[in-house]
Amino acid sequence: MQTKQYSVKVFEVEITDVDEFIAFFDKNYIFFTNHLISISGIFNEKIENYLKEKNLKYIVDVILPRGKKQQLEMPQEEKPKELPKEKKEEPKEINEVKDNLRVIDTLVRSGQELKIKGDLLLLNRVNSGGSINIDGNLIITQIVEGDIRCNGNFMMLKASPKANIVFHEVEVDNSYLQERLNRVELKNNEITITPVLKETNWG
């Protein structure tokens, strides 16, 4: 017997309106070419023909297993010794422009996770292993190497190949976000990526 194990990117969608589903995928299907689409809710011949026409891989009404995150612990003797003078620096808020906007000027380190309800302006970088989960708009002035999940109207950032960027549950291809600051936004149910031609000096 021969077996193979794959890591698969899955996009789950519950269809309640056929036309809305097709309109969204028609504008954004390029982001899903390397995904397996798991569909629940309405599924008819019109949707089936559309997915086949776009050559998208899909499954219908399948309950997928949910993996649990595991934290690996180093053996006791291999744990690095902490220097007494070192302190873990928490993200520092330097200003609040208005009630729903936070401004942070320290980097997001590996292992740190920021959960933000409003908008965020980060005047630093996101290291690999660091993550931001935000409901509002997001602007990051330096390179992103960690994980970003944003559900706001827009985000502005520059990402490295190591980053994992998810905007409204859609994984954004890093090749669109490298080398320069880009604005990612949702307009008329379509995700658009626009380079910021003249980068702002954030002081």
pLDDT digits 0-9 by tens, 5-62:
666 777 888 888 988 888 888 877 777 777 888 888 888 999 899 888 888 888 888 8
pLDDT exceeds 80 at position 140 = yes
pLDDT score, position 82:
62
pLDDT score, position 203:
46
Instruction: Decide: residue 67, CB within 10 A, 0-12 exposed, 13-18 middle, 19+ buried.
Output: exposed
Distance of CA 112 to the CA centre of its chain: 16
Q: Among 65-69, 140-144, 198-202, which stretch is predicted with the lowest mean pLDDT?
A: 198-202
For the domain with range 93-195, which CATH number is right: 2.170.190.11, 3.60.15.10, 2.160.20.70, 3.40.50.720?
2.160.20.70
State the Cα–Cα distance between residues 201 and 11, nearest whole angstrom: 37
State the Cα–Cα distance between residues 15 and 23, nearest whole angstrom: 12
Mean pLDDT, range 145-162, rounded to an integer: 91
State the Cα–Cα distance between residues 59 and 82, nearest whole angstrom: 49
pLDDT score, position 113:
93
pLDDT exceeds 80 at position 155 = yes
Say what the pTM is: 0.55
